[in-house]
Structure 1
Amino acid sequence: MTSVKILAVSLVIAVSAGAAEARTPINQEAHINDTLRQGFIADAIADNCPTMRPRKLRALNELTKLRDYALKQGYTRKEVTAFVESKTEKKRGKAEAAAWLKKAGAEPGKTQAYCAVGEAEIAKKSLIGYLLRSTR
């Protein structure tokens, strides 16, 4: 191998290693976390409002798209699986969703507030609303 080829291979390896090190940890990647948070919010609304139902196939489709996004960002399948299955990360996501809902006026014991937030999100055509179906 010529010295130019060795240098080129070394440069590719160095750049690849640097890019991997510079990547944001998956539990801090904004798009991934925002999307999951919206899913947790939709779940909480469906769990607390008798006139809201989760759209499970849509949720599954969104998770598949999110997984593909994560893989394109350079995260490994192992990293994605560990993140999604982490009890700590689920707890964090649910806490963030609860805080968002509380700010919107929906908290445990306020069934109609959950319903109102769900209806508003459906009307806004947000991801939260996309993941819900109203039975009103």
Structure 2
Amino acid sequence: MKKTILTLGVAVMMAVSAPAFARAALNQNAHITESLVAGRVGDTIRQTCPSISAKMITAYSKLKELERYARAQGYTEDEVKVFMKDPSEKARIKALAADYLKKAGAVEGDAESYCAVGRAEIAKGTLAGSLLRSWK
């Protein structure tokens, strides 16, 4: 009887802890990466294009929503904070955003090309576009 209870106890512990073992690193979570890239794309566009500004309240709200998503996936608050402040992760997201912008038609040194990409993002209703407001 004791052996059955011990076996059952081990099985329950393994089942409860399995999601934690299966959880990928934050930087391997596609939704988190894509959301951060979209945020960086929007930020780069608003900094480069004089006729586009940020919807700061929306941006803050989306960031908090992403943090809640990460927590719901089982990541701790400390893990999220460390990830968000990690210089290598910031550089990785920045590079992915730069690649996205280039593929979308943004040309470094040409503010209007960033404006065109920003207006297209707004028109398509992308996450990056939802963070922006165009004055043209």
What residue number does 1:104 align with? 104
Distance in structure 2 (CA, Å) of the matches to 1:77 and 1:104: 34
Distance in structure 2 (CA, Å) of the matches to 1:33 and 1:6: 41
CA contact (8 A) 1:98 1:107 kept: no
What residue number does 2:25 align with? 25
What residue number does 1:59 align with? 59
What residue number does 2:134 align with? 134
Distance in structure 2 (CA, Å) of the matches to 1:49 and 1:57: 19
- Residue 15 of structure 1 and its aligned partner are, at CA, apart by 2.3
**2:94 counterpart letter in structure 1:** K
What residue number does 2:15 align with? 15
Show structure 1 runs of 5+ residues with no match: none
What pairs up with 1:71-110 in 2 under 5 angstroms? Answer: 71-110=71-110
Q: How many residues in Structure 1 have an aligned counterpart in Structure 2?
A: 136
State percent identity of aligned pairs.
42
Paired residue secondary structure (1:133): strand
Q: Give the TM-score of the pair, scaled to structure 2.
A: 0.92
CA contact (8 A) 1:46 1:53 kept: yes
Distance in structure 1 (CA, Å) of the matches to 2:99 and 2:81: 25
Paired residue secondary structure (2:53): strand
**2:82 counterpart letter in structure 1:** A
Distance in structure 1 (CA, Å) of the matches to 2:128 and 2:89: 19
Show structure 2 runs of 5+ residues with no match: none
Q: Give the TM-score of the pair, scaled to structure 1.
A: 0.92
